[in-house]
Chains A and B, each alone.
Chain A
Amino acid sequence: MRDGVAIRTDGVMRHYAMGQAMVRAVDGVSIEVKNGEFVALLGSSGSGKSTLLNLMAGLDRPTGGAIFAHDRNLAEMNSEELARHRSHTIGIVFQAFNLLPRMTLEENVELPLRLAEVDRGERASRVHEALERVRLGGRLAHRPTELSGGEQQRGALARALVNRPTILLADEPTGNLDSATGDEIMKLLREINESLGMTIVMVTHERPRAEAFADRLLMMKDGKLDGVAAGNGGRGGAGGNDGAAALRP
């Protein structure tokens, strides 16, 4: 699977009406993300990068074009199939973490396993495995409010990984974190990418971080692809500012 294509979009469009005006949030984007690749979607706010990520996640449907995940066209899936795609093929993390506040960390991480109808006997070990991977093994019984921002995002990452998806989608995962904690999360993503061979698509507006940790940068502007750049792939320094400067056009 390492050599194949994880995600391919073919002139994908997402238009919607806002009052009288037609908003072209994503307007004919064709990209390819290879298996095991770490791609950053860059752009300013309103550039359509988050909408494109939602299309890849199957949370939203394109109004035109096609979008393939492992050669299966999401545009042709019904809502049940899209739910299965979200459950089994992708894992997703958000800027706001979105851990359910009423549940403990362990229960939050277990949630995707419940939805995927994984056997009860298997769940605990899967949850522990995922939490160990993000180095949060000791905080099982804590509620999200009892955790720091970085811990919450690591918990969300464990939740995204627990059902062993092939593609990890991250929407501004460091947006709510201070820079040191943000770097920690970026290192963790890179580590997951390398150790598990996980395909990662990350939306961000922080170009330096993207350059430092991603393999490839896709720039978006006004719903269209506005350029492609190579990233440092985590081989640069921790901050990534030097490498970013070198690659800046």
Chain B
Amino acid sequence: MKMRDMTELAVRNLRESLLRNSLTTLGIGVGVASLVAMLSIGVGLQTLASRQLARSGLFNAIFVTPTAREPRFGRPRTGLQPVDESAHPLNADVKAQIAKLPNVTDVYSDVRLTLEVRYEGTSHMTSVAGLPESARGDGAFDGMKGSFFSSAKTDEAILQMEFAKQLSPQPESLIGKDVTIRFMSREPLPATSGGAGGAAGAPARKSAAGDAATGAGSGSGSGDEGGFSVVPHEKQIKVVGIVDADPSAGFGAFGRERVFLPLETAEEVQAAQVNDIQALLRGNPGERRYGSLTVRVKSPEDVAAVEASIKTMGFGTFSLLDASQNLQQVFRVFDSLMGIFGSLALVVASLGVINTLVMAILERRREIGVLKALGASDRDVRRLFFVEAGAMGLLGGVLGLAMGWAIGQAITFATNVYLRSHQIPPAKVTAVPLWLAAIAILFGVLVSLAAGIYPASRAARLNPVEALRYE
């Protein structure tokens, strides 16, 4: 028999015992619904956690340090050649090279400074961090007042709320206002050293420190003729935003930075500052070197490959990849458990399918006999019952998907009512992605077909002579 005729007959049969078949279909629906609801919680929580983790910047970041002094194999070392630290400097070239690796979204250095911030006559010493452009999407800026930096290199600042409160009792009024930052910059000293600092009003104490530094500079053999002096600078910075939480700029971000500048602005200020002793001692003062770099990749899955590439370039790396993998494993186990609990109801539903179809055989014994007498083969009869089981499964699957989705929505709603009552921002704790929808319907059909195996083969084996004699 052709599939279309088979389906017509099956649907006709299903409509005949409407109540019983509807209840069976509802049973499958409830089974699928419980599966969908359970898995949607698993998927929802996982999505939620993954997104939060990705936004925390911890799981898609790689921390790069200059190479450790590892002995090199395959290249005989001559005693005269010392281990050359400068063979693997973290300089701008390297930074550009890493930025070109596939799936790398951003490479930046960690810039942390201590500066003096002045506002309306009062002055505060505070820690300052540079924020890369990629921090724009961080969760920390979700509740930010004002806006993110207009560009990567602009004289704008984002203040941390606690610090903003120190500056003004109405912290929000600071947005759009200018603050002054003061910092010391290094300037080459003319050959005839004198009171160069005097013009800028630098205290004599600082100049003395500068002289001491000059001595160290000469000792490194950089070839600089003279030394340099330290000159105080001021810069007007416009406050564009105030943020509650402490935005993370990478691994080292656990400090309590109070003021955030665009990364390039911060770098500029840092280059001018004298706090980098290493830079002072290093040879070529024109070359910018980084103590460490933070590399952001598209997603946590890309970490391993990028990390390996950077290692082959000769640098030390560190990431929280393992932690993220463990987390995924935990969720996989969680999903499986949810799936098993959800499937239990489906198993019960499959018993309903078996029961309904076995009942149908008893009721339709005579009909099966007639069909066979009119030319139906065993296969036709078997397929007819399969189509009936499959149709109930398909309907039940669609119904169950709708119910499961509704249950998920209800759970999300109830959770959010609870979260809001505790002043926690609402979250989407359930999700029914397309693959889950497809699997739910497929599962409904497959379970029903499996349940149909026994009744269908029993119907197919029915002896037509006995079936026709049956009254």
Contact = CB atoms under 8 A, between A and B. Distances in A.
Interface residues of B, number: 24
Interface in A133-170: 159, 163
A163 B464 contact: no
A219 interface: no
Contacts of B366: 98
A211 B12 CA distance: 43
B93 interface: no
A87 B375 contact: yes
Contacts of B371: 111, 115
A117 B379 CA distance: 14
B395 interface: no
A116 interface: yes
Interface residues of A, number: 25
Pick the most buried of B370, B371, B464: most chain A CB atoms within 10 A of its CB.
B370
A83 B5 CA distance: 17
Contact of B2 (A88, A111, A112, A117): A117
A98 B5 CA distance: 20
Interface in B366-385: 366-367, 369-380
Contacts, number: 65
B414 interface: no
Given A59-B465, A84-B375, A102 B16 contact: yes
Given A100-B367, A102-B16, A116 B373 contact: no
Contact of B374 (A79, A84, A112): A112
A114 interface: yes
B365 to A, nearest CB: 12
Interface in A76-120: 79-80, 83-84, 86-88, 92, 94, 98, 100, 102-103, 111-112, 114-117
A101 B27 CA distance: 29
Contact of B375 (A79, A103, A116): A116
A233 B370 CA distance: 30
Contacts of A100: 367, 370
B378 A83 contact: yes
Contacts of B468: 59, 94, 98
A74 to B, nearest CB: 14
28 contacts: A59-B373, A59-B465, A60-B465, A79-B377, A80-B377, A80-B378, A80-B379, A83-B376, A83-B380, A84-B375, A84-B377, A86-B373, A86-B375, A87-B375, A88-B375, A92-B374, A94-B373, A94-B468, A98-B369, A98-B370, A100-B367, A102-B12, A102-B16, A112-B374, A112-B375, A115-B376, A117-B1, A163-B375
Given A94-B468, A114-B5, A115-B374, 19 more contacts: A57-B373, A59-B372, A59-B464, A59-B465, A79-B377, A83-B375, A84-B377, A86-B375, A87-B374, A87-B376, A92-B374, A98-B366, A102-B16, A103-B12, A112-B374, A114-B9, A115-B380, A116-B375, A117-B1
Interface of B: 1-2, 5, 9, 12, 16, 366-367, 369-380, 463-465, 468
